[in-house]
Amino acid sequence: MQHVHILGICGTFMGSLALLAKELGLTVTGSDQNVYPPMSTQLEKAGIELIQVYAAKELPQADIYVVGNAISRGNEALEDILNKGLPYISGPQFLAEHVLPGRWVVAVAGTHGKTTTASMVAWLLEDNGLAPGFLIGGVPQNFTVSARLGETPFFVVEADEYDTSFADKRSKFVHYRPRTAILNNLEFDHADIFADLAAIQTQFHHLVRIIPSQGQIILPAGEVALDQVLELGCWSQALRFGENAEVNVRLLNIDGSAFEVQKNTEEPVQVHWQLTGVHNVSNGVAAMLAAHHCGVTLADAASSLSKFVGVKRRMERLGTANQVTVYDDFAHHPTAIHTTLEGIRRQLGEEAHIVALVEPRSNTMKMGVHSGRLMPSARLASEAWWYQAPEAGWSLEEEAKVSPVPTQVFHSIDAIVAKAAQLPANTHLVIMSNGGFGGVHQKILAALREAEA
């Protein structure tokens, strides 16, 4: 196998997989549409040729075609592959067969926090000389890429519960066979492929079934949905953490930029860091425990965590213009929207003027599954702006009538940019979307700079 062509190469998983395939010495090309940074930038830097169309006539000859889970039947390139009987494979299966054999896999699963937690684990291992490989659905700012092969058996992977491909409806993470697994949390999401929470729990049970008896499952105490998963069967050590005195690992003295971790009766270790929000404390403790399972002392993990910078598009500060600071965040679920705003509110204080700008873009959002939860999720903002995408099948205006904070619904990017250009001084604008959002981030910064001139 010399040439790999990837369909859907700009997805966060597939783009990262492309970097690994390139590092394996393969010729890598790919097809995609609606291309935007940071993945498009990474691919360009890696010298990976990108075809921005799925036309059959543009499909290059390759030894194997890796099909992303965003590619559905009816896609012209996929139909050409099937009609010609060309060899194809899913992304997770390619990873499992060509990268993961013989590796100590650390998998990070859960509805929220996967990217940040996986980035933390990779950094804790890196900073302690373990030079791990990793594949993460974002770009950790302590590294320059979202994926690499690494120099040791350790490999950290963001373990998504979304389905594998058009031909394999199992969750991606069942392909990874982890030795260490973090289960951050579990809520209903991905309503386009899961009927209910129980269906997702079944997939998590399938993940638990393949963790070896000498492996470890790390999870927060009190997560009922996860406890129900483990009640279906657990053959590995389950290590729970929380503020309750009865758990294996206790959280102590949580205070914004600092917290302590105590395992059993050992001396507590203290973490001082740059991140905010209780959710990130949970992410950080899980990462410390995963690194500890790989051989890093908790004291060393705490020291390394203080040097963790963050992840692009996870409360990333893009810049300040005309005395308005603009942030980019990947939140696309009511819980994530709330925790993002909780973190920045805790950091800036009760008097800060925070505007939440949200694009309900995920398939679950577009289906209206979270109707009734959206407006309350932004209650910690000073005001909330929502973008009503043309393809959404429900009305945000109706939702906005019961918003706990001043709310406005927009139907065009230009209208958002015009409004943002008039924001008062000392405003913090938090933009939340799991897509490119029509380039609104840079358009707003440009408009603010123009207003400043």
CATH classification of the domain holding 19: 3.40.50.720
Q: Tell me what pLDDT residue 134 has.
A: 98
**Residues 424 and 296 placed together within one structural domain of the fold:** no
Return d(Cα 48, Cα 71) in angstroms, integer.
20
- Structural domain range at position 260: 100-305
- Residue partners of 326: CB distance under 8 A and separation at least 6: 317, 318, 319, 320, 429, 431, 441, 444, 445, 448
Note whether 140 and 238 are same-domain residues.
yes
CATH number, domain of 352, equals 3.90.190.20
Q: What's the CA gap between 380 and 407, in Å, rounded? A: 12
pLDDT at 138: 79
Specify the CATH number for the domain of residue 160. Answer: 3.40.1190.10
> 12-23 and 91-98 are packed helices; what angle lies between their axes, rounded to 10 degrees?
30
What residue ranges in 159-248 does DSSP mark as E strands?
163-165, 168-171, 180-183, 216-220, 237-242
Q: Are 194 and 61 in a shared domain?
A: no
Residue 149 corresponds to which amino acid? L
Taking the C-alpha atoms of residue 34 and residue 13, their distance in angstroms, rounded to an integer, is 16
pTM, rounded to two decimals: 0.77
Q: Which long-range contacts (CB under 8 A, 24 or more apart) does 59-62 make?
A: 59/5, 59/31, 60/3, 60/5, 60/29, 61/3, 62/3, 62/4, 62/5, 62/29, 62/86
Say if 311 falls within a structural domain: no
289 and 200 both lie in a single domain:
yes
Domain count, the chain: 3
What is each CA distance from 117 to 108, 297, 397, in whole angstroms?
A: 7, 18, 35
Here the tokens at position 373 are 């939860």
Residue with tokens 């890429």: 145
Say yes or no: 275 and 162 in one domain.
Answer: yes
**Does any domain span residue 364?**
yes
Q: In the prediction, which pLDDT does 367 show?
A: 52
pLDDT at residue number 24: 97
- Answer yes or no: do 286 and 356 share one domain: no
Query: Is residue 55 in some structural domain?
Result: yes
Q: In what order do the strands lie in the sheet with 3-7?
A: 49-51, 27-31, 3-7, 64-67, 88-90
Same domain, 177 and 235: yes
Last residue of a domain, one of 305, 334, 369: 305
The 10 Å Cβ neighbour count of residue 99 is 23
- Structural domain includes residue 310: no
Q: Amino acid identity, residue 389? A: A
CA-closest candidate to residue 124, choices 17, 261, 16: 261
Last residue of a domain, one of 305, 330, 363: 305
Last residue of a domain, one of 93, 118, 145: 93
Please check whether residue 298 is in contact with residue 288, taking contact to mean a CB–CB distance below 8 angstroms. Answer: yes
Torsion sign across C-alpha atoms 146, 151, 157, 163? positive
The verdict on residue 430 lying in a domain is: yes
Token pair of 46 as six digits? 């890696």
Residues 80 and 108 in one domain: no
Question: Is residue 342 domain-resident?
Answer: yes
Q: Same domain for 150 and 191?
A: yes
**225 and 326 share a domain?**
no
Cα–Cα distance, 186 to 314 (Å, whole number): 19
Q: What does the DSSP assignment read for 347-393?
A: HH-TT-EEEEEE---SHHHHTTTTTTTHHHHTTTSSEEEEE--TT-S
Quick one: pLDDT at residue 334?
Answer: 85
Residues 139 and 268 in one domain: yes
- CA–CA gap between residue 149 and residue 153 (Å, rounded): 10
The token pair that represents 330 in the structure block: 């990947």
The HSE-up count of residue 347 (CA atoms within 13 Å, CB side) is 18
Q: What are phi and psi of 181, to 5 degrees?
A: -130, 125
Q: Do both 322 and 441 map to the same domain?
A: yes
Which strand (E) or helix (H) includes residue 200? helix 197-209
Cα–Cα distance measured from residue 305 to residue 317, given in angstroms and rounded to the nearest whole number: 20
Whole-number Cα distances in Å, 367 to 158, 192, 332: 25, 8, 13
83 in any annotated domain: yes
Would you say residue 50 lies in a domain? yes
Rounded to an integer, what distance in angstroms lies between the CA atom of residue 327 and that of residue 105?
A: 33
Do residues 168 and 96 lie in contact, with contact meaning Cβ atoms separated by under 8 Å? Answer: no
Nearest to 287 by CA among 111, 112, 104, 119: 119
User: Which tokens is 20 given?
Assistant: 């690994």
- Encoded amino acid at 351, one letter: E
pLDDT at 380: 92
In the chain, which stretches have pLDDT less than 70?
A: 190, 245, 256, 312-313, 332, 362-372, 391-394
Q: Tens of pLDDT along 77-124?
A: 999 999 999 999 999 999 999 999 999 999 999 988 899 999 999 999
pLDDT at 332: 67
- As beta bridge partners, residue 133 has 155
